[in-house]
């Protein structure tokens, strides 16, 4: 078997992977990510039985190899997430929903949903608020593998610790037999969520307008120019008065005047 520890990822080849990631996703990989890139791509080399990163680069650079480009994106995006991450956002949403009065369905977008915990946290919050009979969540990501996990709605039971008990009882099931040790999200929630492969750095497809957009912990992967482009596109998808939520280590300072801050990391469209 290939001993990937013995493989070398040269600066040149690393820079080629960096450029490809930037071109295909807008994600900027800093130079200190070389070890991470090597470890993650080594797995793919093993799967494909390739002997060097040069061979793999050649493969992803060959024309019309979209499938392998997707594999590269899947390998090099960082997908850390959890249920009810940054809990104050869900408290804010819950409070806003209590006084929300619209005749159209409530629409929420989890715009870099990773393995889906964010979308299901939103779904539990909206379902429990009973604010409106009709609501929809769009959950999107550029990584096809995490999106497949999100669609399944099945998680290691240890991740349930972050879910409030009331929601666990109402919206989650404990796996049995072959699914022992797993937490399953209810079909009742799933029917409100649509999962879509979507690149925030590309032209947005026809997805309509939203009352709330969660764009959390993804802006950090882009440079300032891309961040502004993405925020402009996202703002265009918010209804007037709609809310945008970003991650705790992110800021929109100097990026847009169309969104006014209402609370740390929460903005409202003017």
Ligand X SMILES: C[S@@+](CC[C@H](N)C(=O)[O-])C[C@H]1O[C@@H](n2cnc3c(N)ncnc32)[C@H](O)[C@@H]1O
Q: Residues within the annotated binding site for S-adenosyl-L-methionine? A: 79, 81, 85, 118, 141, 199-200, 216-217
141 is known as an active-site residue? yes
b/e string for 32-57 if b means 16 or more Cβ within 10 A? ebbeebbebbbebbeeeebeebbebb
Least Å from the CB of residue 170 to ligand X = 22
- Beta carbon of residue 197, minimum distance to ligand X (angstroms, whole number): 9
**40 among known catalytic residues:** yes
Distance between CA 206 and CA 234 in Å, rounded? Answer: 13
52/199 with CB nearer ligand X? 199
Residues 6+ apart with CB under 8 A from 99: none
The two three-digit tokens of residue 221, written as one number: 């992967």
Q: Is 116 in the site for ligand X (CB under 6 A)?
A: no
Does the protein bind ligand X through residue 137 (CB under 6 A)? no
Q: Which of 18, 85, 89, 269 binds ligand X (CB under 6 A)?
A: 85
Compare residues 85 and 237 and give the one whose CB is closer to ligand X: 85
Q: Which 204-263 residues touch ligand X, going by CB under 6 A?
A: 216-218, 221, 247
Could you say whether residue 18 binds ligand X (CB under 6 A)?
no
CA 216 to chain CA centroid, Å, is 8
Binders in 180-209 for ligand X, by CB under 6 A: 198-201
Least distance CB 130 / ligand X (angstroms): 25
Q: Which stretch binds ligand X (CB under 6 A): 24-32, 37-45, 50-58, 149-157?
A: 24-32
Choice from 45, 56, 106, 114 touching ligand X (CB under 6 A):
114
Of 83, 80, 58, 79, nearest to 68 by C-alpha is 58
Contact assessment for residue 155 and residue 175, using Cβ atoms and an 8 Å cutoff: no
Torsion of CA 186, 183, 199, 222, to 10 degrees: 130
For residue 86, how many C-alpha atoms fall within 13 Å in the half-sphere facing its CB?
19
Q: How many other β-carbons are positioned within 10 Å of the β-carbon of residue 165? A: 8
Q: What is the DSSP letter of 146?
A: H
- Which of 20, 27, 76, 252 binds ligand X (CB under 6 A)? It is 27
Per annotation, catalytic residue among 44, 107, 141, 227: 141
Residues at the interface with ligand X (CB under 6 A): 25-27, 77-81, 85, 112, 114, 118, 141-143, 146, 198-201, 216-218, 221, 247
């Amino acid at each position: 078997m290939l001993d990937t520890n013995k493989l070398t990822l040269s600066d040149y080849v690393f820079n080629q992977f960096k450029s490809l990631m930037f071109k295909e996703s807008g994600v900027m990989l800093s130079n200190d990510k070389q070890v991470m890139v090597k470890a993650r791509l080594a797995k793919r080399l093993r799967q494909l039985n390739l002997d060097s990163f040069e061979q793999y680069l050649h493969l992803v650079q060959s024309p019309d190899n979209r499938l392998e480009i997707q594999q590269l994106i899947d390998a090099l995006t960082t997908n850390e997430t959890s249920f009810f991450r940054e809990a104050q956002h869900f408290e804010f949403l819950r409070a806003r929903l209590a006084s929300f009065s619209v005749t159209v369905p409530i629409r929420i977008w989890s715009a870099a949903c990773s393995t889906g915990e964010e979308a299901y946290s939103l779904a539990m919050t909206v379902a429990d608020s009973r604010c409106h009979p009709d609501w929809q969540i769009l959950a999107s990501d550029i990584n096809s593998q995490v999106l497949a996990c999100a669609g399944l709605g099945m998680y290691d039971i240890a991740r349930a610790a972050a879910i409030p008990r009331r929601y666990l009882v109402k919206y989650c099931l404990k796996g049995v037999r072959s699914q022992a040790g797993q937490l399953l999200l209810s079909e009742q929630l799933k029917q409100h969520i649509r999962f879509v492969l979507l690149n925030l750095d590309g032209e947005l497809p026809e997805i309509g307008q939203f009352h709330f957009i969660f764009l959390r912990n993804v802006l950090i992967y882009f440079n300032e120019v891309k961040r502004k482009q993405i925020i402009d596109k996202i703002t265009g998808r918010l209804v007037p008065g709609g809310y945008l939520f970003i991650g705790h280590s992110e800021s929109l300072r100097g990026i847009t005047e169309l969104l006014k801050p209402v609370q740390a990391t929460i903005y409202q469209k003017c």
